[in-house]
Amino acid sequence: MSRKTVTVILLLGLAGLGAPALADDKRQLIDEMLTISGSIDAGRQMASYVANSMIDTLAKANDRITPEIAEVLKKEVVAIVEEEFIEKRFLNEMSYEIYSRYFSTEELRELVRFYQTDLGRKLTRTQPRIIQESTAASRNHMQQLKPEIQKRVRAALEREGVL
Protein backbone atom coordinates (compact mmCIF):
# COMPACT_ATOMS: atom_id res chain seq x y z
CA MET A 1 0.00 0.00 0.00
CA SER A 2 1.36 3.41 -0.89
CA ARG A 3 2.11 6.05 1.69
CA LYS A 4 -0.54 8.29 0.17
CA THR A 5 -3.21 5.59 0.52
CA VAL A 6 -2.30 4.95 4.16
CA THR A 7 -2.44 8.68 4.91
CA VAL A 8 -5.90 9.01 3.32
CA ILE A 9 -7.18 5.98 5.26
CA LEU A 10 -5.84 7.40 8.53
CA LEU A 11 -7.34 10.82 7.88
CA LEU A 12 -10.72 9.33 7.06
CA GLY A 13 -10.57 7.19 10.17
CA LEU A 14 -9.64 10.15 12.36
CA ALA A 15 -12.45 12.27 10.92
CA GLY A 16 -14.96 10.04 12.68
CA LEU A 17 -13.31 10.52 16.09
CA GLY A 18 -14.79 13.97 16.70
CA ALA A 19 -17.86 14.64 18.80
CA PRO A 20 -20.66 12.23 17.99
CA ALA A 21 -23.45 13.68 15.89
CA LEU A 22 -26.44 14.71 17.94
CA ALA A 23 -29.70 13.00 17.07
CA ASP A 24 -32.33 15.30 15.55
CA ASP A 25 -34.85 14.50 18.29
CA LYS A 26 -32.35 15.55 20.97
CA ARG A 27 -31.60 18.79 19.10
CA GLN A 28 -35.33 19.51 18.82
CA LEU A 29 -35.85 18.85 22.53
CA ILE A 30 -33.00 21.19 23.45
CA ASP A 31 -34.40 23.87 21.11
CA GLU A 32 -37.84 23.48 22.67
CA MET A 33 -36.46 23.54 26.21
CA LEU A 34 -34.43 26.70 25.47
CA THR A 35 -37.56 28.40 24.19
CA ILE A 36 -40.14 27.34 26.79
CA SER A 37 -37.73 27.67 29.73
CA GLY A 38 -37.13 31.29 28.82
CA SER A 39 -33.41 30.75 28.15
CA ILE A 40 -33.58 32.47 24.77
CA ASP A 41 -35.30 35.50 26.30
CA ALA A 42 -32.87 35.45 29.22
CA GLY A 43 -30.05 35.50 26.67
CA ARG A 44 -31.55 38.63 25.14
CA GLN A 45 -31.87 40.29 28.55
CA MET A 46 -28.32 39.32 29.47
CA ALA A 47 -27.06 40.79 26.20
CA SER A 48 -28.79 44.06 26.99
CA TYR A 49 -27.41 44.08 30.54
CA VAL A 50 -23.86 43.32 29.37
CA ALA A 51 -24.07 45.97 26.65
CA ASN A 52 -25.34 48.59 29.08
CA SER A 53 -22.68 47.75 31.67
CA MET A 54 -19.93 47.74 29.06
CA ILE A 55 -20.95 51.09 27.59
CA ASP A 56 -21.53 52.67 31.02
CA THR A 57 -18.01 51.63 32.08
CA LEU A 58 -16.59 52.95 28.84
CA ALA A 59 -18.48 56.23 29.19
CA LYS A 60 -17.17 56.75 32.74
CA ALA A 61 -13.60 56.23 31.52
CA ASN A 62 -13.97 58.49 28.46
CA ASP A 63 -15.58 61.91 28.85
CA ARG A 64 -15.96 62.24 25.06
CA ILE A 65 -18.77 59.67 25.14
CA THR A 66 -21.96 61.69 25.42
CA PRO A 67 -25.26 60.13 26.50
CA GLU A 68 -26.33 60.16 22.83
CA ILE A 69 -23.19 58.28 21.77
CA ALA A 70 -23.62 55.83 24.65
CA GLU A 71 -27.18 55.13 23.54
CA VAL A 72 -26.08 54.43 19.95
CA LEU A 73 -23.31 52.15 21.22
CA LYS A 74 -25.71 50.23 23.48
CA LYS A 75 -28.19 49.69 20.65
CA GLU A 76 -25.45 48.48 18.32
CA VAL A 77 -23.90 46.09 20.84
CA VAL A 78 -27.33 44.65 21.66
CA ALA A 79 -28.02 44.25 17.92
CA ILE A 80 -24.72 42.43 17.38
CA VAL A 81 -25.33 40.08 20.29
CA GLU A 82 -28.90 39.44 19.10
CA GLU A 83 -27.62 38.57 15.63
CA GLU A 84 -24.78 36.34 16.80
CA PHE A 85 -26.43 34.55 19.71
CA ILE A 86 -30.07 34.37 18.64
CA GLU A 87 -30.44 34.80 14.88
CA LYS A 88 -27.31 32.84 13.97
CA ARG A 89 -28.27 30.35 16.71
CA PHE A 90 -24.95 30.34 18.60
CA LEU A 91 -26.90 29.91 21.84
CA ASN A 92 -28.62 26.82 20.46
CA GLU A 93 -25.47 25.32 18.95
CA MET A 94 -23.53 25.87 22.16
CA SER A 95 -26.38 24.36 24.19
CA TYR A 96 -26.55 21.16 22.11
CA GLU A 97 -23.14 20.02 23.24
CA ILE A 98 -23.53 21.17 26.82
CA TYR A 99 -27.05 19.86 27.50
CA SER A 100 -26.38 16.63 25.66
CA ARG A 101 -23.38 15.99 27.91
CA TYR A 102 -25.53 16.21 31.05
CA PHE A 103 -28.98 15.06 29.96
CA SER A 104 -30.25 12.02 28.12
CA THR A 105 -33.00 12.36 25.53
CA GLU A 106 -35.55 11.09 28.05
CA GLU A 107 -34.38 13.60 30.68
CA LEU A 108 -34.74 16.39 28.14
CA ARG A 109 -38.30 15.20 27.43
CA GLU A 110 -39.01 15.38 31.16
CA LEU A 111 -37.58 18.92 31.34
CA VAL A 112 -39.79 20.00 28.44
CA ARG A 113 -42.81 18.42 30.17
CA PHE A 114 -41.89 20.23 33.41
CA TYR A 115 -41.65 23.62 31.69
CA GLN A 116 -45.12 22.98 30.23
CA THR A 117 -46.64 22.57 33.72
CA ASP A 118 -48.04 25.45 35.78
CA LEU A 119 -45.00 25.29 38.07
CA GLY A 120 -42.61 25.26 35.11
CA ARG A 121 -44.34 28.28 33.59
CA LYS A 122 -44.18 30.06 36.96
CA LEU A 123 -40.45 29.33 37.17
CA THR A 124 -40.01 30.74 33.66
CA ARG A 125 -41.93 33.90 34.59
CA THR A 126 -40.23 34.49 37.93
CA GLN A 127 -36.67 33.38 37.25
CA PRO A 128 -35.57 36.65 35.58
CA ARG A 129 -36.75 38.59 38.66
CA ILE A 130 -35.09 36.09 40.99
CA ILE A 131 -31.81 36.42 39.10
CA GLN A 132 -32.14 40.22 39.04
CA GLU A 133 -32.83 40.40 42.79
CA SER A 134 -30.02 37.92 43.56
CA THR A 135 -27.60 39.92 41.44
CA ALA A 136 -28.59 43.17 43.17
CA ALA A 137 -28.28 41.59 46.62
CA SER A 138 -24.85 40.17 45.74
CA ARG A 139 -23.70 43.53 44.37
CA ASN A 140 -24.88 45.30 47.55
CA HIS A 141 -23.14 42.74 49.73
CA MET A 142 -19.90 43.17 47.76
CA GLN A 143 -20.14 46.93 48.32
CA GLN A 144 -20.47 46.31 52.05
CA LEU A 145 -17.44 43.99 51.93
CA LYS A 146 -15.30 46.51 50.04
CA PRO A 147 -13.62 48.03 53.14
CA GLU A 148 -12.82 44.58 54.54
CA ILE A 149 -11.52 43.39 51.16
CA GLN A 150 -9.28 46.46 50.87
CA LYS A 151 -8.00 46.03 54.42
CA ARG A 152 -7.20 42.33 53.99
CA VAL A 153 -5.64 42.74 50.54
CA ARG A 154 -3.44 45.55 51.86
CA ALA A 155 -2.39 43.40 54.86
CA ALA A 156 -1.61 40.45 52.55
CA LEU A 157 0.47 42.66 50.25
CA GLU A 158 2.37 44.06 53.24
CA ARG A 159 2.87 40.56 54.66
CA GLU A 160 4.30 39.41 51.33
CA GLY A 161 6.54 42.46 51.15
CA VAL A 162 4.91 43.82 48.02
CA LEU A 163 3.91 47.08 49.70
The answer to whether position 147 is within a domain reads no
pLDDT in tens, 21-37: 788 999 999 999 999 99
The answer to whether position 150 is within a domain reads no
The answer to whether position 64 is within a domain reads yes
Contact 29, 108 (CB under 8 A): yes
Helix spans in the chain (H): 3-15, 24-36, 39-61, 67-81, 90-102, 105-115, 118-159
* pLDDT reported for residue 116: 96
The answer to whether position 35 is within a domain reads yes
Give the range of the structural domain holding residue 103, as residue numbers without chain letter.
Answer: 20-127
Q: Looking at the 3D structure of the chain, how many domains does it have?
A: 1
Q: How far apart (Å, rounded) are the C-alpha atoms in residues 87 and 47?
A: 13
Is the pLDDT reported for residue 6 higher than 90?
Answer: no
* pLDDT reported for residue 20: 54
The answer to whether position 115 is within a domain reads yes
* pLDDT reported for residue 18: 44
The answer to whether position 71 is within a domain reads yes
The answer to whether position 145 is within a domain reads no
